[in-house]
A and B are shown apart, each in its own frame.
Chain A
Amino acid sequence: MANNQQTQESLIAVKNIHKNYTRGSETIEVLKDVNLNIHKGDFVAFMGPSGSGKTTLLNLLGGLDFPTSGHILIDGQDIAGMSSKKLTAWRAQHVGFIFQLYNLIPVMTAFQNVELPLLLTRLSKKERRQHVETALAIVGLSDRMSHYPRQLSGGQEQRVAIARAIVTDPTFLLCDEPTGDLDRKSANEILDLLTRLVNEHEKTLLMVTHDPLAAKNAGTRFHLEKGVLTANSQGEAA
């Protein structure tokens, strides 16, 4: 269960995070003193209006951006102090990203898209094949391996993206509006799949969403309002 108190079991511990952007002479404070603890196997949803800082927080947790101040401890490692080079290698090993628009490479098959993160590992071709087949089997697309994204439905594309995110068995998954571009039926299927990843495969999943129905699947829900994290249901914020 996620909470704001750092415990020894915390997988992710966010401490006093501030994130400012500068536009001309103006400084915009996007995140204000955010504190957060997430445990292994948690399914956490971040909700809030546009511009509240949800995606910024997700980017910081995924090592895509640096906080202006504060610490982000992931499995004991402070990624806020890492160099860009180290952070790149860290992302490859620890984070699986799932985006709203799937972001598959259109000229590559489902298999090739899922294989992409594995190209950065030392796995042999045979081992890569095994990993890709397993990931595609988990998302139920074993029979669509050689299909190109244009030959798949939106829901199937998102499944391929999920397979790509889990194929390296990362420490946690970050989902930015994973159902935002899908119809209700496909969205439910994706949410079921994500829930299954948490429940059956013990994945830690952090999801940004506007959709209250999607957020209901999460064990813990946080609200962000103008850069300030507020508690909801099981979750509490500072």
Chain B
Amino acid sequence: MKFLPLLLANIGRKKMRTILTVGSYAVALFLFGLLGVIDMSFNQGLEVAGVDRLIVRNKTSLIMPLPIAYKERLSQIKDVKDVTFASWFGGVYQEPKNFFAQFAIDVDTYRAMYPEFEIPEDQWDAFVRDRQGCIVGRKTLDRFGWKIGDRIPIQATIYRGLWEFNICGVYEARREADDTTQFWFHFNYLNERTPFIKDYVGWYTVRVHNPDKAAEVTKTIDERFANSSFETTTETEKAFMAGFVKQFGNIKLIILIVGSVVMFTLLLITGSNMSLSIRERTNEIAILKAMGFGPTHILTLILAESIGYAVIGGFLGLSVCKLFTLGGDPTNGLLPVFFLDNKTVILGIGITFMVGLISGFIPALIAMRLNIVRALRSI
């Protein structure tokens, strides 16, 4: 602590250079945070996927349906605890940019399958009673300024016509990473109005008694419906989510490449700045060494300075990123879960620290080995 004034004096020595160095870290960490948010948003389903839930879909494609009769047959399979189903609706509220996911759900079984979503009992009861009722996630409700009791028109895109729903309740998430942008309505309402696809569902969700038996149950389900008109592909909820994300390309790899390039560039910039700064201070370092500052003191002071720039810049960048994400999803529904999580913050701070350490290491080593006599002679 007693060396802090010396450290701060050095950090504040060239204000413009300090601003630019700290700014470089801030911009890089803002970008890092944002990439982390996007990655997390794409993969949020993986993080929160239920370990005991399996998704059963049509083997041909997710857009192909399965018969509603499968529900009973799935329930009879050994080690299956619960079964529910849902269908994708794909409607538009007012204009196409107002995207959010709408699911026609089995009112009797869906809620129990997803205990991570909280809905007040009276609201759920009102929803069950109202065939045109719907439950809306908190984010979507807030996004459009809806309230319970509102009647919402949704223009169908896969099906036909304008569909109207009464908002009976709102669901909240227990965890920050849970998606609260969904919109649920009665499957029966969909089933009645779509005679051309009557008694077909989009997919089933199955809960197993024991997650350790998931692989076994998966195999049993697919074997049960093998060689039928509607063969199935069953996978864990996590694998299903991962497959869904893959449709967008290898997001993780793209983020990793962009992030690495940014960090490497940052390393070069800050390393160059530190070298320049140390070269300008050769005489001062020589004086400090003459006074009795040892190699360890010099090394520590310069590394602390380099890490100081990094930590200040990193903190600024991540703070701005946090503020930015507080505004919610800027993509109108593409990234339903949009927040900077603690894991990304800690990783960001760790990376910043390492970049600061590495960029300061060579200049610190040069300063540490500085020959006092030669340095004093060059003044």
Contacts and interface: CB of A to CB of B under 8 A. Distances in A.
Interface of A: 55, 59, 62, 64-65, 85, 88-89, 91-93, 97, 99, 101, 103, 105-108, 112, 116-117, 119-120, 125, 128, 164
Interface in B332-379: 372-373, 376-377, 379
Given A101-B379, A125-B2, A107 B13 contact: yes
A107 B9 contact: yes
A62 B293 contact: no
Contact of B6 (A55, A119, A164): A119
Interface in B258-309: 283-284, 287-295, 297
A124 to B, nearest CB: 10
B294 A88 contact: yes
A71 B5 CA distance: 39
B10 interface: yes
Contact of B289 (A65, A88, A93): A88
Contacts of B288: 116
B161 interface: no
Contacts of B283: 103
B127 to A, nearest CB: 67
B3 interface: yes
Given A107-B12, A112-B5, A64 B373 contact: yes
| Residue among B291, B292, B294 having the largest count of chain A Cβ atoms under 10 Å | B292
Contacts of B291: 91-92, 97, 116-117, 120, 164
A62 B284 CA distance: 17
B290 A105 contact: no
Interface of B: 2-3, 5-6, 9-10, 12-13, 283-284, 287-295, 297, 372-373, 376-377, 379
Contacts of B9: 105, 107-108, 112
Nearest to B284: A105
Contacts, number: 67
A112 B283 CA distance: 18
Nearest to A111: B5
A105 B12 CA distance: 13
A206 to B, nearest CB: 15
Contacts of B287: 97, 99, 103, 105
B2 A116 contact: no
A87 to B, nearest CB: 9
Contact of B292 (A65, A106, A117): A117
A25 B289 CA distance: 30
Nearest to A94: B292
Contact of A92 (B292, B377, B379): B292
Contacts of B3: 119
A232 B373 CA distance: 27
B290 A62 contact: yes
29 contacts: A55-B377, A59-B373, A64-B376, A88-B289, A88-B292, A88-B294, A88-B295, A91-B291, A93-B292, A97-B287, A101-B379, A103-B283, A103-B284, A105-B6, A106-B13, A107-B9, A107-B12, A108-B6, A112-B9, A116-B6, A116-B291, A117-B291, A119-B2, A119-B3, A119-B6, A120-B292, A120-B297, A125-B2, A128-B2
A101 B377 CA distance: 12
Contact of A91 (B292, B373, B376): B292
Contact of A99 (B10, B295, B376): B376
A191 B376 CA distance: 23
A89 B287 CA distance: 14
Contacts of B2: 119, 125, 128
A108 B2 CA distance: 14
A192 to B, nearest CB: 25
A120 B379 CA distance: 25
B322 to A, nearest CB: 32
Nearest to B11: A107
Residue of B2, B290, B377 ringed by the most chain A CB atoms within 10 A = B290
Contacts of A103: 283-284, 287, 379
A206 B284 CA distance: 22
